[in-house]
């Protein structure tokens, strides 16, 4: 299909899947259960971090984790006791275990005692007028692992473009926090990062559909792959390219588009 046809097709699919009916079976359901800014940020960060595997298992594990924090994650970060931390021992989701979890809590506790919003952690490395959030993600990774005794094993759970990762989960998290529309899915709580700077989350479903539509030509999954995809999407909507994540993901997981 030509560019006009492609835009019409993806606009239609984005509208179809960017609806509240999308929420219950998606990890965004976890932060959607909170109303306080910091609770949304923290629960969303965990939901994005644990966001691989079967969606039903992701939701189950995230709800278990929030319950261990008394369903008040911000208060937990600021006021937890040693006994509270002991409750976290034994938590595991795939390769994310309690060693990783305790470091995440260590960082978030340290961070929220100094900052009101996690948005600052991404903004610190982002130059004014930057085309994408790339340098913000690079800085976030460095900041996240800047505390003493950061476990080497935990580094695999926070991606960075500096390692040529597609950064799917962090890009998904930023989509939730930054995108603004009236559809009721993404939060749009952060105002200092522009939706135009976002990079499309690139998982196996999105990548398969994007390759079928010739939005990706390079081989493999990498940061450059995510940038290539986002560049094509930006040519369709320069102000909000990542809204097409709904179309690509929905086509892939709901419709099996591009399957052999």
Q: 255, 254, 201: which is closest to 229 by C-alpha?
A: 201
Cβ distance 78 to 113 under 8 Å?
A: yes
- Of all residues in the chain, what percent carry a pLDDT higher than 90? 92
Tokens, residue 14: 């984005």
Q: Is the pLDDT of residue 260 over 90?
A: no
pLDDT band at 53 (very low <50, low <70, confident <90, very high): confident
Least confident of 50-54, 84-88, 109-113, 182-186: 50-54
Q: Is 218 helix (H, G, I), strand (E, B) or coil?
A: coil
pLDDT band at 125 (very low <50, low <70, confident <90, very high): confident
pLDDT band at 100 (very low <50, low <70, confident <90, very high): very high
What CA–CA distances, in Å, run from 179 to 2, 74, 193, 200, 246? 27, 22, 9, 12, 12
Q: 163, 160, 256: which is closest to 199 by C-alpha?
A: 160
Cβ distance 206 to 252 under 8 Å?
A: yes
Burial tier of 150 (Cβ tally within 10 Å: 0-12, 13-18, 19+): middle
| pLDDT for the residue 82 | 97
| pLDDT for the residue 207 | 95
Q: What is the C-alpha separation between 135 and 130, in angstroms, rounded?
A: 8
Q: Is the pLDDT of residue 141 over 90?
A: yes
Q: What is the C-alpha separation between 123 and 85, in angstroms, rounded?
A: 30
Q: Is the pLDDT of residue 105 over 80?
A: yes
| pLDDT for the residue 197 | 98
Q: Give the model confidence (pLDDT) of 7-37 as tens digits.
A: 999 999 999 999 999 999 999 999 999 999 9
Between the two ends of the chain, the Cα-to-Cα distance in Å is: 19
Q: What is the C-alpha separation between 74 and 237, in angstroms, rounded?
A: 35
Q: What is the C-alpha separation between 205 and 252, in angstroms, rounded?
A: 5
Q: Give the model confidence (pLDDT) of 160-211 as tens digits.
A: 999 999 999 999 999 999 999 999 999 999 999 999 999 999 999 999 999 9
Cβ distance 29 to 21 under 8 Å?
A: no
Q: Is 96 helix (H, G, I), strand (E, B) or coil?
A: strand
- Of all residues in the chain, what percent carry a pLDDT higher than 70? 100
């Amino acid at each position: 299909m030509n560019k006009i046809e492609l835009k019409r097709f993806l606009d239609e699919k984005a509208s179809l899947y960017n609806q509240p009916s999308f929420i219950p079976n998606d990890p965004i359901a976890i932060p959607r259960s909170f109303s306080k800014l910091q609770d949304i940020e923290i629960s969303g960060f965990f939901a994005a971090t644990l966001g691989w595997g079967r969606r039903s298992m992701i939701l189950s594990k995230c709800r278990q984790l929030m319950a261990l924090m008394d369903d008040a994650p911000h208060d937990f970060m600021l006021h937890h006791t040693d006994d509270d931390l002991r409750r976290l021992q034994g938590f595991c989701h795939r390769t994310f275990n309690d060693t990783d979890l305790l470091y995440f809590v260590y960082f978030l506790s340290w961070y929220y005692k100094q900052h009101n919003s996690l948005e600052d952690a991404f903004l610190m490395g982002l130059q004014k007028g930057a085309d994408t959030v790339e340098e913000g993600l690079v800085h976030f990774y460095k900041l996240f692992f800047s505390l003493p005794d950061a476990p080497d094993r935990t580094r695999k759970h926070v991606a960075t473009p500096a390692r040529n990762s597609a950064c799917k989960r962090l890009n998904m998290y930023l989509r939730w926090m930054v995108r603004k529309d009236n559809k009721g899915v993404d939060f749009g709580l952060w105002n200092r990062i522009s939706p135009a700077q976002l990079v499309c989350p690139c998982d196996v479903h999105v990548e398969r559909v994007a390759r079928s539509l010739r939005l990706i030509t390079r081989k493999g999954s990498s940061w450059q792959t995510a940038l290539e995809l986002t560049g094509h999407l930006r040519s369709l909507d320069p102000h909000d390219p990542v809204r097409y994540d709904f179309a690509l993901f929905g086509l892939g997981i709901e419709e099996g588009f591009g399957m052999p």
